[in-house]
A and B are shown apart, each in its own frame.
Chain A
Amino acid sequence: MDEQLKTTCLTEEHIALGAKMSPFAGFMMPIQYSSIIEEHQAVRGACGMFDVSHMGEIFVNGPDAERYVNHIFTNDVSGMEPGQILYGMMLYPNGGTVDDLLVYREYAPDAYLLVVNAANIDKDYAWMLENAEGFEVGILNASSDWGQIAVQGPASEAVVSKVLGMDLSGLTFYHFVDSTLYGQRAIISRTGYTGEDGFEIYASPAATVDLWKAFLAAGVVPCGLGCRDTLRFEAGLPLYGDELSADITPVMAGLSMFCKLDKPEFIGRDALAAQKAEGPAKKLVGIELADKAIPRAGYPVELPDGTEVGVVTTGYRSISLDKSICFALVAAEYSALGTTLMVRIRHKVFEGTVVKKRFYQTNYKK
């Protein structure tokens, strides 16, 4: 039997809206409300919202906070301004990925918030505690105290500013501001996972429920995890478990720019530097098929002569581009742009071409 599935503070709202619910990362989550295609287009065209309360919030503070976060995180937090956010990974010593995450540099001194994937909260927290020896830091997993709503799409700035009664036009991509809702701290962050402009709002569970209702009343379209995946995929964003894992390093996934090898040290640095110098055996690529058949995770990738050289990690008939595209992890010698690769779909083989992973032109407010 499965473990007991967790709910979020918004589960009752999803059920009331008639969402199709399904287990994801140990939580019962909405997959879609109306249709994945309509929800996807709402985000690309105007504004949609996601319950992302299942994400994990881990707070780090103390005199050694900066040195500690730099020890476990691939990106460099030393130059961060208060209110700034960085994307990066935590790695195992062999370079495999523990998780990918956001690090928020708090306005309070010596304090960071790490936002991690729902499926990895317990693993990440244990990893962080295990690697805190010798650092004067406090580490607190506060995931269950926080709800989170992601409002995404070109109309987000206007809608979120109106609903929160704040002018958010000055908040730039990968920055956040603090606020108070229901007497408790709220965080308004200009981030997301869709390739569009948008905000992620962290608040207490009670405030999150009221925010959700206020956004609904303002005409924001509720969106499920179904289109969250199609949106992030088109924008070339990896999903832990598919494009990053204990076996897939950031170098293999093409995410070296988020790994600062010039930092004095971080866990996994030496392995990553060696892999970068030698070149990884496998690389993540984008493949566009000529046909309408749809490549799915796990389908084999082959050379025209039938030799298997890789596997699809995520694939869709792209909603925004109307093309059959996928991410695939393939032998590095076949990863160059323009390479012809075949994808085996059920009984047939379809020809594709290696293309850039960012299939869709993102629209961030830099």
Chain B
Amino acid sequence: MSKILEELLYSDSHEWVRVDGDIAIIGVSDFAQAEMGDITYVDAPTEGDEVHKGEDFGALESVKASSELYAPVSGEVVAVNAALEDKPELINEDPYGAWIIKVQMSDNSELDSLLNAAAYAEIAG
């Protein structure tokens, strides 16, 4: 059983969102990191990049494979977690602490289409 935090929102592509005013803090779920195995590289955007809901904004690389990251909301990237550059394994160790990007949301109503913890639990059993 993977860990799912009550206070977060989730996408069906296994990203989580922590909402802080107009800022969306984005990472990947415990289920996603466990499926991927050891993460060896985070291909993240740079500050100032635009991300668009449903479109890929980067990728996580495990030893075996790469899997794309999809933006759960649209907006401008205002921060990138630099710690992941040298320690991508932080995502395995603490998936809900190891955020990947922070996005200044352009349309907060996009949050309405994300899953709450109970709904996400059904696809990430």
Contacts and interface: CB of A to CB of B under 8 A. Distances in A.
Nearest to A317: B40
Nearest to A36: B63
Nearest to A319: B63
A294 B37 contact: no
A294 B41 contact: yes
A205 interface: no
A293 B43 contact: yes
A35 B62 CA distance: 11
Contacts of A294: 40-41, 61, 66
Contacts of A36: 37-38, 62-64
Contacts of B85: 292
B66 A296 contact: yes
Interface string B40-66: 110100000000000000010111111
B38 A37 contact: yes
A230 B63 CA distance: 8
A346 interface: yes
A226 interface: yes
Interface residues of A, number: 20
B84 to A, nearest CB: 11
Nearest to A291: B41
Contact of B59 (A32, A35, A346): A346
A212 interface: no
Given A293-B43, A294-B40, A296-B66, A317 B59 contact: no
A293 B40 CA distance: 9
B61 A317 contact: yes
A296 B63 contact: no
Contacts of B65: 296
Given A36-B37, A37-B38, A317 B43 contact: no
A319 B64 CA distance: 11
A30 B63 CA distance: 15
Interface string A339-354: 0000001100000000
A316 interface: yes
Given A226-B64, A294-B61, A317-B63, A32 B40 contact: no
Contacts of A292: 41, 85
A288 B94 CA distance: 31
Contacts of A31: 64
Interface in A28-48: 31-32, 35-37, 40
Interface in A307-341: 316-317, 319, 324
Nearest to B88: A292
Nearest to A22: B64
B32 to A, nearest CB: 15
Contacts of B61: 293-294, 317
Contacts of B40: 37, 294, 317
Nearest to B64: A226
Given A32-B37, A35-B37, A37-B38, A346 B43 contact: yes
Contacts of A316: 63
A39 to B, nearest CB: 10
Interface string A252-293: 000000000000000000000000000000000000000011
Contacts of B68: 346
6 contacts: A37-B63, A226-B37, A226-B63, A294-B41, A296-B66, A317-B40
Which 4 pairs, one residue from A and one from B, show the smallest C-beta to C-beta distance? A36-B63, A317-B40, A37-B38, A294-B61
Interface of A: 20, 31-32, 35-37, 40, 226-227, 230, 292-294, 296, 316-317, 319, 324, 345-346
Interface of B: 37-38, 40-41, 43, 59, 61-66, 68, 85
Given A32-B37, A36-B38, 19 more contacts: A20-B37, A31-B64, A35-B37, A35-B38, A36-B62, A36-B63, A37-B40, A37-B63, A40-B63, A226-B64, A230-B63, A292-B41, A292-B85, A293-B41, A294-B61, A317-B41, A317-B61, A317-B63, A346-B68
